Amino acid sequence: MASTLQPAIAQQSKRSQLATLLRSHLQHPNQFPLSFAQQRLWFLDQLQPGNPAYTMMAAVRLRGDLDEAALERAWQDLVQRHESLRTRFVLVDGQPYQRVQPTGAVALTRQRLELPDQAAAIQAQALERVQQPFDLERDGLVRSHLIQLEADTHVLLLTLHHIISDGWSMEVLIRELAILYDSHQRGQQPQLSPMPIQYADFAVWQRQFLQGPVLEEQLSYWRSHLSPAVLPSLPTDFPRPAVRSHRGHRHLLGISPDLTEQLQGLSQQANATLFMTTLAAFQVLLYDYAQGANLRVGTPIANRDRPEVANLIGFFTNTLVLCADIDGDLSFRQWLQRVRDEAVNAYAHQDIPFEKLVDELQPERNLSQTPLYQVWFYLQDDPVTTVSFPGLTLETIEIDLGTAKHDLKLGMWKSPQGLRGSLEYSTDLFESATMVRLARGYEDLLAEIANNPEQSIKDLVQHLRQRQQQQMLEQKQTLLSAQRQKLRGTRRQTFTS
């Protein structure tokens, strides 16, 4: 999801050197400013300390003959390699700063579970660790836990606070852990290139770079694009509470490999990405659900269009806000072109941190919802499909953390089995039945779009509503049939007794 608009290599090198130079001339060598993204999460943590909504977890099943000693040494090397994994956040004269711990002795804790329901046991262990709060000032902000289920089956749980990591970072973490594991298992020195900079360098550079004309040009685009800053209304099943609890749930969905391939082909024909196509379809779904309201969708962008930060673990992800001003008379293919143009323009103005944008636009701030958007969407690769641990088979385990940072979030990822998705929602606002209907509607909508992308948005919405009515009728018939069978069984039991 990173922008394809790459700055010149010479300019990148200059910026990297500048960051290192600035770092070496800081008044306090181990007292670094927070990046803009970190500052927002730090502020949110001050409002709700230890909020598990900002805890990230990777759960990976490892099948095969695991060398636990090699894995632990690899983990220690990884923590030592990335300063972000050894960073804490301290207050100095009322201002938060990053402080890097000199060593990275983060224990790989172990546990053996022998239970018949392994899936439930893994889920319970994951939730227990996610619910353990992080103290940003006193705690290490990364934890690792290895569960042995059978002699040749383990589960690795990696828990990090979002302030030091993001989705891309989790891919870097797993990939480099595999390389380090391979080296230690072979008894060789790890074959990883030295880090050109660390995350603290990026934070120093960002504070220096986003000033003056650069900042004003970026802000000018978003001012005109997101004015007024008032949020359109998203229908909810329950009244919005004054303070959101961040309690949530998720509903999984899947797109077949054949349909995924069709959608990929449609994307290529439109000179668009699969992300743009699936986003355009999701916006049509929301257009129907919200009865025509022009909703805004937040989406992450990797913010790593400079080579020296590509392999860093840290919180680089920025949020772009994409508007969905849908005209029902447009064909889906025409709508996809508008979505493509909207995304490309947003990519061209991706440097402005979302936090800086909120400060500039000054929307009404409250603790019940995210400013500037209500719904979140992303598409990413499955991180373990490109990673190889020698002698081991890897599999990502989806964990329902029971949290929701947004009103509604649709996360999609590519896998050998086609597109997979997770519809995460705030249980303060929505019933599970509503999410089941939305997920099924999205699957139906994608199939209809792939079959005929020339249909108008109005026709697609009409088809969607007809399908939903048919499904509701089938559900009622199924329920009535079950009730009749139960009644017959009761009568038969009464007669025989």
| Residue 297 · residue 377 · CB < 8 Å | yes
Task: Extract the tokens encoding 395.
Answer: 């599999």
Q: Enumerate the domain spans of the chain.
A: 23-197, 202-232+252-378+405-473
pLDDT exceeds cutoff 80 at 485: no
The pLDDT value given to residue 13: 44
Q: Do domains 23-197 and 202-232+252-378+405-473 have the same CATH topology?
A: yes
Reply yes or no on whether the pLDDT at 227 is more than 50: yes
Residue 222 vs residues 191, 217, 349, 356, 448: alpha-carbon distances, Å: 43, 9, 8, 11, 34
Mean pLDDT score, 127-131: 89
**Range with lowest mean pLDDT among 130-144, 191-205, 383-397:** 383-397
The average confidence (pLDDT) of the chain is 86
pLDDT score, position 2: 37
Distance CA 413, CA 419 (A): 6
Tokens encoding 254: 């899947």
How would residue 480 be classed by pLDDT, with cut points 50, 70 and 90? confident
List the beta strands (DSSP E) in 212-366.
248-254, 296-301, 318-323
Higher pLDDT, 427 or 17: 427
Q: In CATH, which of 3.30.590.10, 3.30.559.10, 1.10.357.10, 3.40.50.2300 is domain 23-197?
A: 3.30.559.10
pLDDT score of 496: 57
Is the pLDDT at 479 greater than 80, yes or no? no
Q: What is the pLDDT of residues 262-304, one digit of tens each?
A: 999 999 999 999 999 999 999 999 999 988 767 899 999 988 8
Determine the topology of domain 202-232+252-378+405-473 in CATH.
Answer: Chloramphenicol Acetyltransferase (3.30.559)
Three-state SS across 376-434?
EEEEEECHHHHCCCCCEEEEECCCCCCECCCCEEEEEEEECCEEEEEEEEECCCCCHHH
Q: Is the confidence at residue 9, as pLDDT, over 60? A: no
Mean pLDDT of 191-207: 89
Q: Up-side HSE of residue 345: CA atoms within 13 Å toward CB?
A: 15
> What's the first-to-final CA gap in the chain, in angstroms?
67
pLDDT at 209 over 70: yes
